[in-house]
Amino acid sequence: MKVFKFGGASVRNAQAVRNMASIVERYKNEELLIVLSAMGKTTNALESIWQDRLAEKNIAEKLEDLRTYHFGILHELIPDTQHPAATELAQWFEQLNNYLQKVDSNANRYYDALISFGELVSSHIVAHYLNHIGCPTQWLDAREVIATDNTAREGKIDWEKTHERCNQLIKPNIKNKRIITQGFIGKSEDGYTTTLGREGSDFTAAIVASCLQAESVSIWKDVPGILNCDPKLFADAVKFEELSYQEAAEMTYYGASVIHPKTIKPLANKNIPLWVKSFEAPEERGTLIHDCIMGQLPPCIIIKPNQCLITFKVTDFTFINEENLSLIFHSLDALNIKINVMQNTAISFSICVDNQDYKIKALINRLQDHFKILYNEDLTLATVKNYSPEVIKRISEGKKIYLEQRSRSNFQAVMA
């Protein structure tokens, strides 16, 4: 069995869906599980609706734009307006509209339920289209498979339950038809919809592949594979033909956006190879991530925007000691905030984190009675693995540097 994951760009319009279907057809003799993201920028649109709804702003125009976008894709793919796909899509948007009439007291739980509509609608349209063109496909609600705890917006996987459900709901059915399901979403112990963190569809693919001991996972992207830097920023980007699990995991940790950071571990544990391939050139090899020994690699440049640098300063003429650090780390853990870079002086401790406004405000509220807290937003974190002086000069020359670190093989700088 193979697991394919298609991201939002690969189903952003009708032509893209047709292209995705042609890739699936190449593997018509394979047992295939397809994990699908929301179409195009739907998740961003739903986040904007969520924010406006909490702020009690009018959301009618944004909701209608989203409806028009999805119906436009469906009608290009299946022109018959009486087709069951059109009826079901109308029902989905009716559910979404009804859900938006109320606001859950738990804003993050409300977020998860609202954001999940993107994947649910996308997978319904694609499943109907595949069946329409004679490609037998079964739609599966990922929430019945992916079991999580009650953590909103980044649910933690209950591996035992998920393994059991994968073998009950997927394994017996995949021999006769393709199964299409949603990335990014699951269900909590209390029966609420949860999400696995932004861009979490890759992780979903890895979870089901691990539970079912899949032959391989393929992530279909708009790039030819994993590159040593963003080709939109650096014209001399080169593709890696292969990477070890460890090298790929480190790249994702530092912010490489091609793969979700949690994807590698469940695959490495079961020695399941991961392919990163281009949906624009499916015949090309892509990049293979597997258990291998790497030689000398070229410098790998990872640019992570939308960062926040937070500095905690002691206020009573003491030093940043273990007690102060413990207090800070306890709060970071409680709020599920991941540190991208950290550095301390005698009287201060600085961290660079993703600029998630709701988490940063909560962190400051928890610690403002203990420290003087300064922060800078809208920064960029640049990481260079296997750095050279020339590459460091290239990315930092002329920039205002707020924080800089070097180790034997890695260079990191937080900059304006």
Q: Is residue 345 part of a domain?
A: yes
Query: How many separate domains does the chain show?
Result: 2
Q: What local confidence, expressed as pLDDT, does residue 176 receive?
A: 83
**270 and 330 housed in the same domain:** no
Q: Is residue 49 part of a domain?
A: yes
**191 and 337 housed in the same domain:** no
Integer CA distances (angstroms), 70 to 3, 74, 117, in order: 25, 6, 12
Q: What local confidence, expressed as pLDDT, does residue 104 receive?
A: 79
**232 and 363 housed in the same domain:** no
**141 and 252 housed in the same domain:** yes
Per-residue pLDDT of 304-345, as tens digits, reads 999 999 999 999 878 999 999 999 999 999 998 999 999 999
Q: Is residue 71 part of a domain?
A: yes
Q: pLDDT band for position 295 (50/70/90)?
A: confident
Q: What local confidence, expressed as pLDDT, does residue 256 receive?
A: 86
**31 and 158 housed in the same domain:** yes
> Which 8-state DSSP code applies to residue 39?
S
Q: Is residue 295 part of a domain?
A: no
Per-residue pLDDT of 161-203, as tens digits, reads 999 999 999 999 998 899 999 999 999 999 999 999 888 899 9
**96 and 244 housed in the same domain:** yes
Q: Which of 207, 166, 212, 158 is nearest to 187 (CA)?
A: 158
**194 and 172 housed in the same domain:** yes
Paired with 187 in beta bridges are: 147, 193
And the tokens for 372? 């003087």
**336 and 407 housed in the same domain:** yes
Paired with 411 in beta bridges are: 384, 406
Q: Is residue 94 part of a domain?
A: yes
**314 and 230 housed in the same domain:** no
Q: Which domain holds residue 305?
A: 300-415
Per-residue pLDDT of 247-263, as tens digits, reads 999 999 898 888 988 99
**101 and 177 housed in the same domain:** yes
Q: Is residue 156 part of a domain?
A: yes
Per-residue pLDDT of 271-293, as tens digits, reads 999 999 999 999 999 999 999 99
Question: Which of the listed residues 262, 290, 318 is the one where a domain comes to its end?
Answer: 290
> Which 8-state DSSP code applies to residue 391?
H
- What does 68-125 look like in DSSP terms, one character per residue? HHHHHHHHHH---TTSHHHHHHHHHHHHHHHHTTS--SSHHHHHHHHHTHHHHHHHHH
CA–CA distance, 277 with 205 (Å, rounded to integer): 15
**279 and 348 housed in the same domain:** no
Question: Which of the listed residues 246, 264, 290 is the one where a domain comes to its end?
Answer: 290
Q: What is the CATH number of the domain that holds 68?
A: 3.40.1160.10
Q: Is residue 16 part of a domain?
A: yes
With a pLDDT cut of 90, the percent of the chain lying above it is 89
Q: Is residue 390 part of a domain?
A: yes
Question: Which of the listed residues 225, 260, 290 is the one where a domain comes to its end?
Answer: 290
Per-residue pLDDT of 355-405, as tens digits, reads 999 899 999 999 999 999 999 999 999 999 999 999 999 999 999 999 999
CA–CA distance, 58 with 43 (Å, rounded to integer): 19
Q: What is the CATH number of the domain that holds 309?
A: 3.30.2130.10
pTM: 0.91
**342 and 251 housed in the same domain:** no
